[in-house]
Amino acid sequence: MCGIVGYIGNQKASPILINGLIRLEYRGYDSAGISTIEKNGLSIMKDQGRVKNLYNLKGINELEGTIGVAHTRWATHGKPSKENSHPHMDNSNSISIVHNGIIENYNELRNFLSNNGYTFHSQTDTEVIPNLIHYYYNKQNKKDISSLLKSVQSACSELKGSFAIEIICKDFPDNMIVVRKDSPLVIGKGDDENYISSDIPAILSFTRSFYLLNDLEYVILSRDNAQFYDKNLNPIKKEISNIEWNSSSAEKDGFDDFMLKEIYEQPTAIRETIGARFTENSNSEFDELDFTKEYLENLNKIYIVACGTAMHAGLVAKNIIEKICKIQTEVDIASEFRYRDPIIDEKTLCIFISQSGETADTIAALKLSKEKGAKTLAISNVIGSSITREADYSIYTHAGPEIAVASTKAYTSQVVLLAILAIYFAEILKKNSSYISQLKKDILELPKKIEETLKISENIKDFAKQVYQEKDIFFLGRGVDETVAKEGSLKLKEISYIHSESYAAGELKHGPIALIEKGVTVVGIMTDSLLVEKTISNIQEVVTRGAKTLIITNQNIDDNSFDNIVHIPITNVFISPILSIIPLQLFSYYISKEKGLDVDKPRNLAKSVTVE
């Protein structure tokens, strides 16, 4: 949620800031704004609505400042409006800031500042920050950049919650101060210029050299330097990380939408995620991990904790791990996990999945698990993200930037990586060697089979045209196919706004069948040969009640039994979700397009949920 960008250099800041905000639109927002230091002081340009609205603001083209900050806001405190949008200034109009996160004690701070003569012009929690900085700055004897830094530290020590903050001050046109806590922030190093953002893709076209900030690290930026300080303002050194993503990954490259592009990028994303982890004739390798046979044998449980689509990837992994490793595995929603006092100890391995690596609930659940003595393993698509720095171990998917809010290639990459991780565990435990050998072969064949599936799935578009005006659609599956039903249903909700539900097909007669009537659409997934006859029987029950059906299968079934059947390539049942989800991704996409909706930026959703 929200996105921030900053620039300090020798170029005009405003075009760079707006360009960065456009690249952050996928995070979800309802207003946007920029602030620059001009010859006559601070300038703020902001408005409700899309980033492109900034181009229509009076005076935007006359901005000459070479230092500035920018923000896309997702309303939390206060309705979407120009007044509530960022940036915000202090009462003296000397300090301007942008902020990602939530200040939980803002009412208390607002009352304190009001009692000290400060007035407020918005309903936001953020507006307390520049005024609190100003309050402490007024108490400083010296008025230099070091004094401003001390004032920022004093203000941050009062803040409860999460924040990534960029601060500019009209008195210091050659400096910017940034700090983060539980909210992402990176600094991109250029030639005599520095770029700041909440997300790497926003500034990837300018640099591939990044400083990754830890919690409560402060930075004074100038055009050609970055000075880093710890929470006590002791100087520290930071190493530069080089990011290998290609900036073209953040462009549509001829596709109508990022989501469609990312669906078709899945063969490449899977190849990159498999990488050199294993061959048919070699054991899987995770140099990042040092798990022993003794440790794995003594585990009493594995928890997989995530939110949304990442949680669905965890459900697929549960089936694989329990099948080939024989270790009890539970999958939990991060926001529930942290509040139910889970039974965790040193014999528990907790795996946390977050595509962005910044999902607030998942990070909080990870911290709780560490406190209880468990080993923690993070799976993310973003190198240096918060979750990977908190965890004991980290491994990465290599899906590349995913811009569309609805996840596609990140999901399938997560499933592949988790499958390889399960193989890694099983090989250490010396279990199921013949089964694992075939599973590895099937994984290596996945990119080619995904390419086949993408071609086969083209006829999905015709069915989408028939049902795009539906009010309710149901998804059914058994075993591992039920996890695909959950993810297919979620995709449809996210981008088409059609009410959809997923059910274990065997549960149909225990209640949900009451919802089935003539003309209702039901999607069935059948890839498990042991369960296909049972699933066919379940879905026949909806056919007899007049439902329209779409079946995704790799089994030999009677094509006359159902309205529409998409045959996908055969593979190991435990990795079949990587193939069977692709027609459902396209199904959701084409329905959304038929309805004329914004596929990449669905309403009310954000790519990275950095608040609880």
Active site residues: 2, 607
The backbone torsions φ and ψ at residue 224, rounded to the nearest 5 degrees and listed phi first, read: -120, 15
Is residue 416 within 8 A of residue 274, CB to CB? The reply is yes
Q: How far from 18 is each of 33, 157, 202, 602, CA to CA, in Å?
A: 8, 31, 10, 21
DSSP 32: E
Q: Which two tokens stand for residue 205?
A: 């076209």
- Give the span between the Cα atoms of 520 and 523, in whole angstroms: 10
Closest residue by Cα to residue 299 from 341, 339, 340, 351? 351
Q: Which two tokens stand for residue 311?
A: 């949680």
- Give the span between the Cα atoms of 439 and 573, in whole angstroms: 10
Radius of gyration of the CA atoms of the chain, in A: 26
Q: What is the dihedral of CA 190, 410, 51, 126, to 10 degrees?
A: -80
- Rounded to 5°, the CA angle 357-358-364 comes to 105
- Give the span between the Cα atoms of 38 and 162, in whole angstroms: 30
Q: What is the 3-state secondary structure (H, E, C) of 307-356?
A: CHHHHHHHHHHHHHHHHHCCCCEEEEEHHHHCCCCCCCCCCEEEEEEECC
Asked if the bond preceding 80 is cis, omega within 30° of 0, the reply is: no
Q: Which two tokens stand for residue 216?
A: 């409560």
Residue 137's DSSP bridge partners are none
DSSP 213: P
- Give the span between the Cα atoms of 540 and 544, in whole angstroms: 6
φ/ψ region of 255 (left if φ > 0, alpha if ψ in -120 to 50, else beta) reads: beta
Q: How far from 255 is each of 6, 251, 258, 421, 588, CA to CA, in Å?
A: 29, 9, 7, 33, 16
The backbone torsions φ and ψ at residue 238, rounded to the nearest 5 degrees and listed phi first, read: -125, 140
- Give the span between the Cα atoms of 178 and 185, in whole angstroms: 9
